[in-house]
Structure 1
Amino acid sequence: MSAAQPRRWVRRPDGSNWGDFGDDDRLGRLNLITPERRRAALAEAREGLVFCLSLPLDVGPGMNPSRFPPKLAPAIRDGRPRYNACACVVYPGLTDVVCDDKVELWTQYSTQWDSLVHHGSLFDADGDGVEEIRYYNGFGEVEAVGTSPLGIQHMAETCVQGRGVLIDLWKHAGAAKTVIGYDQLMRIMEADRVVVEAGDLLCLRTGFADQLLLDKRPDAQALNDFGATLDGRDARLMQWITDSGISALIADNVAVEARASAPKPGFLGSSMPLHDHCLFKLGLHLGELFLLSPLADWLAANARNRFLLTAPPLRLPGAVGSPATPVATV
């Protein structure tokens, strides 16, 4: 931020890190993936084996009425679809045949990243006694499509490559709906000898993505009752996320945290407290619907829980979220 510009905030939310990476920071905790930590992550690629951590992008839970599968269609030129377009039509004798297509893409239907403008809060950042719309580091409301200074392109420009660490909640909690708090998470990590360090990209396997692969249109209530999620209302768990120094939080389910129910009359606060804590306060990107089970099974069979993770989003300026095709190398 230049000296001519006033600071966007005079007070920051309790428990936030606004300003810690600079007044104009747009990366949040991705700043913790330093060259030194990236070199350490490269050391986890011992076998040269790779795992695709993306679902097919037409596979999603269908639980959000504003998100839909991608719509693929041929590109149109001169009124004709660009499938099997033969250059010989225009230039006799040429043998080239061309296909081109286009896609209408909902950026958060399937395997995806949340940008730091995906979730904000009403907060009195300027100290005038009036709450206003704010996002990470005090950035204000989105004025038009693609204009947010916290768009996903900033994440893409870092390449999102670092050490992934996997915690296998499915192994311990199974398919039953289980809300995981601090105590249970610590027990699981101790049992599986999982060590999390600053800059790590933390991945949680719940088995949810596997259910989507079984049926592209699964029952919404059955999905809502499936598997482990984090307890966003557990203050000790939120403090651990802060203290751990992780650079991103990833899960194979929807939202990472227990999905919100209708608030009771008089309730004040966020219906999605983990999103509020991570995206709004810490600048900690959330990855959702990653396909983690094949990787988790291999890691378990080889007594490992660390790997090299490369997971950039699309470099789409101003976007609120983005599909991803993450790659784990072991």
Structure 2
Amino acid sequence: MTGRPASLPSFSQLPLNKDDPPYSAWGLYGKDDQLGFLNRQTDEIVAEAAKEIKTGVRVSMNWPLDAQSKVPFFGSPRIVNDDIWTFNTQSSSQSWGEKGIVGRGVLLDFHRWRLAHNIQAEIFQTNSIPLKYLKATAEYQGTDIKFGDILIIRVGYMPTFNKLSTDELIAFAKQTPPGLIGVERSEEMLEWIWENFSAVAGDHPAFESYPPPKDWSMHEVLLSGWGCPIGELFNLERLAEVCDNQKKWSFFVTSEVCNVPGGVASPPNILAIF
């Protein structure tokens, strides 16, 4: 069965338990569940997603592990409990999951849309992308959203990052906290994610506008409240090019993350297949 399950609670019913944190869905898949939103990637939904494969063209979304080797923005573990193995998982593409993340991916190329519509967006400033802009991007592309999709947003971080001089990178890395573009922090955005997706990702360091206010952040809701994987620093330049050439912004996605017991981040090892 594909499509939104009739048994899925509405966003307005959250939290599921009155004493739990705001918007949380603890216990939705049982008290011992470890997959959260990845339960939405059912066998039927993954099989349907495989129908996206038409040409066999494959595109990696992995940023090189040494991409920030000169001036890493997150050079050492922070109080948010980042993982470091022999490299810092915050210094390249990141994702999370246990059984792998597999399904239909949709690229919302916000960067392409905003340039076409003369919309200004500063990448290295606290700047929120409204939900209406993301919906407009999907409409502009002719992209339909299906339940269980993997949402991937291109804000144009990579080309902007690559234009920065070493001095500019050093100055930015010294900002505490740094300002970064991301999706708006709102109930409307949360409801849109709740009603449609199984995972979210983007090409920027923080999926949501950063820094978040002190009262709440989307990371808290998505990760701990819902178990929704967040992918960050995905290299989407080649993917955007292929999507534009094919005029098709949906594709099959496979992400086999590293099996690190107790880990909080991993290189995504992610591939789009058209």
Query: Scaled by the length of structure 1, what TM-score is found?
Result: 0.65
Cα distance per residue 1:245-294 (max 9 Å; x no partner): x1100101011111116x6xxx5x22xx1112211211111000111121
Q: Distance in 2 between matches of 1:169 and 1:284?
A: 21
The residue aligned with 2:103 is 162
Percent identity, aligned pairs only, is 27
Task: Give yes or no for the alignment of 1:240 onto 2:192.
Answer: yes
> What's the offset of the Cα at 1:10?
7.9
Larger Rg: 1
Partner secondary structure for residue 26 of structure 1: coil
> What's the offset of the Cα at 1:176?
2.7
Q: Distance in 2 between matches of 1:185 and 1:324?
A: 24
The residue aligned with 2:92 is 110
Q: Is the 8 A contact 2:113 2:140 kept in 1?
A: no
Indicate how the Cα distance of structure 1 residues 216 and 45 shifts in structure 2: closer, same or farther if over 3 A, else same.
farther
> What's the offset of the Cα at 1:66?
2.1
Unmatched runs of 5 consecutive residues or more in structure 1: 1-8, 69-102, 116-154
Indicate how the Cα distance of structure 1 residues 181 and 221 shifts in structure 2: closer, same or farther if over 3 A, else same.
farther
Partner secondary structure for residue 266 of structure 2: strand
Which one of 219, 241, 245 corresponds to residue 169 of structure 2? 219
Give the root-mean-square deviation of aligned CA atoms. Answer: 2.6
The residue aligned with 1:249 is 200
The structure with more strand, counted as a fraction of residues = 1
Q: Is the 8 A contact 1:50 1:329 kept in 2?
A: yes
Indicate how the Cα distance of structure 1 residues 187 and 107 shifts in structure 2: closer, same or farther if over 3 A, else same.
same
Q: Distance in 2 between matches of 1:215 and 1:191?
A: 30
Task: Give yes or no for the alignment of 1:64 onto 2:64.
Answer: no
The residue aligned with 2:38 is 30
> What's the offset of the Cα at 1:225?
6.6
The residue aligned with 2:60 is 52
The structure with more helix, counted as a fraction of residues = 2
Number of matched pairs: 237
Cα distance per residue 1:93-140 (max 9 Å; x no partner): xxxxxxxxxx71222221111x4xxxxxxxxxxxxxxxxxxxxxxxxx
Q: Distance in 2 between matches of 1:289 and 1:169?
A: 15
Indicate how the Cα distance of structure 1 residues 216 and 36 shifts in structure 2: closer, same or farther if over 3 A, else same.
farther
Partner secondary structure for residue 321 of structure 1: coil
Which one of 124, 131, 140 corresponds to residue 182 of structure 1? 131
Q: Distance in 1 between matches of 2:269 and 2:260?
A: 15
Q: Is the 8 A contact 2:40 2:198 kept in 1?
A: yes
